[in-house]
Structure 1
């Protein structure tokens, strides 16, 4: 059986949030869509699904607003929206640096998560941008950690996203970061650091492994120092998770206010007092659609 309504209804953008799509398989036995959702998403409390039905945030494939007793209809799909009852406000603002037909270039502040995940939906850069611009199909081309500030690229059209992502895969994008860390006069700069990085423990951290072939590379320069701290210019050739944080930590120069390296030190979610001193300062690439050089720089600055 084919879902004939698949292309008829396009769910609206609600308060900057796009709808998620769920397929209802044939082999499942469930009396109602509500029962299936509780079964399919065991980590979400049934009371949360009840609230979404009550708030009319669940749609059938044809655009009909579903109710909590709506019958399960196999081989179709539904749309639902995710909102959080309480969400910690991130008191820092983004800035749109540049926009054309295909791209949106944004200056991301510290502490702002890129996309909805876990405890953040409204307080994410993607949802803020969708709310501000109304661009329903906006998607990030690459990512920055929640703790990192600076320049990040978004694609306005799904059909162009892969073209730009390929630039990153082919290492045709030059990125320059600034970081503040300790100053040690015995460490000679500039230098190129090559390490093997792999998943660490806890699972959301990374670690180095001297017994495996190098899979990361960063060119590091010293920009200035005050004897105690220094400002470094980092140019990664590869793009592993936490690469710059791990590379500086490997040199005995952990980035100032890093909550993961050298040791995990969790802070309260509403503690914005000590931002990680890492900034995605500049990005360069040849636009594959316009065939012209593009260069963008963050308006944020790290100071000693």
Structure 2
């Protein structure tokens, strides 16, 4: 169940939307007692400095004082910061379409979709807000940070659910492309079905196939085998590599990556499948995941028109 929309939301600051926190009951008398315990990314001195700069606001937009009473369930607004500088992603997104309802971008590899965790300014959403000045942008769907290609954003909050309902009803046609090992013994095209669930423990980021009723379906087609020298230096494989077209008929987490890995064909450049590798502080921008969201198409629930957007990017870099 979604939270009710607040009556007032602060404007973005440098493309970053404000976060909100509800004051919880507990052993704290004032705001400065509560904030460092609830949001310990900043200590007492850090929160005092932010409050003094007017960066913590009450629900009505008023700048707060650190020693105000900590009334339970009261709402505060603040803008998130990071402890360490973000690595700059040296690639830009291309705009494919802009109108009053939708913004469509061609995302590069390595750029996260939205602010989360250690990513804040170097995200596609933040960059688009700065570029276009549209504070209400929200992703209709998502791509992994490592994946490039077509991403659709909604402009109007009151239309957002109509577009996202298309995804829930599987009414969005998506086509991906990937470069992965060639298997001579695998008949293509192929509909691969399995049950995907998250692993437990240290490998929780991975999805894996388990017994049970399938909840993930991917149609795999061959576009063509690649020359034996292509990617051979960095990604050797006894039978070489091939260029594949992928049609996800369901939308499970990491579905395409997990399915190809389960078939013994992990996508070139994948640092999660088949073996989860340590997180890099700064990515190796010369070794992108060879996965591209090539096409997104659907019947627009607001305008009634058929929408089809194609990526202009390629694989093999």
Q: TM-score with structure 1 length normalisation?
A: 0.91
Structure 2 unaligned residues grouped into runs of 5+: 1-5, 229-239
Paired positions, count: 296
Q: Which residue of 2 aligns with 1:239?
A: 251
Residue 258 and residue 48 in structure 1: after superposition, are their counterparts in 2 closer, same or farther (change >3 A)? farther
Report if aligned partners of 2:290, 2:316 keep a CA contact under 8 Å in 1.
Answer: no
Q: CA deviation at 1:29?
A: 4.5
Q: Which residue of 1 aligns with 2:312?
A: 299
* RMSD (Å) for aligned C-alpha atoms: 1.9
Q: Which residue of 2 aligns with 1:3?
A: none
- What secondary structure, in the 3-state scheme, does the structure 2 residue paired with 1:31 have? coil
CA distance in 2, matches of 1:51, 1:113: 29
1:114-153 → structure 2 map (5 Å cutoff)? 114-153=113-152
1:1-304 → structure 2 map (5 Å cutoff)? 7=7, 9-25=8-24, 27-42=25-40, 44-84=42-82, 86-201=85-200, 202-209=203-210, 211-225=211-225, 226-227=227-228, 228-271=240-283, 272-303=285-316
Tell me the alpha carbon deviations over residues 60-110 of structure 1, each in whole angstroms, 9 at most, x when there is no partner: 223222243444344532210012252211111112211121111111111
CA distance in 2, matches of 1:115, 1:105: 15
Report if aligned partners of 2:22, 2:73 keep a CA contact under 8 Å in 1.
Answer: yes
Residue 127 and residue 252 in structure 1: after superposition, are their counterparts in 2 closer, same or farther (change >3 A)? same
CA distance in 2, matches of 1:55, 1:112: 30
- What secondary structure, in the 3-state scheme, does the structure 2 residue paired with 1:241 have? coil
CA distance in 1, matches of 2:292, 2:209: 22
Q: CA deviation at 1:190?
A: 0.8
Q: TM-score with structure 2 length normalisation?
A: 0.88
CA distance in 1, matches of 2:175, 2:45: 46
Tell me the alpha carbon deviations over residues 130-157 of structure 1, each in whole angstroms, 9 at most, x when there is no partner: 1112211211111111111111111111
- What secondary structure, in the 3-state scheme, does the structure 1 residue paired with 2:191 have? strand
CA distance in 2, matches of 1:39, 1:62: 24
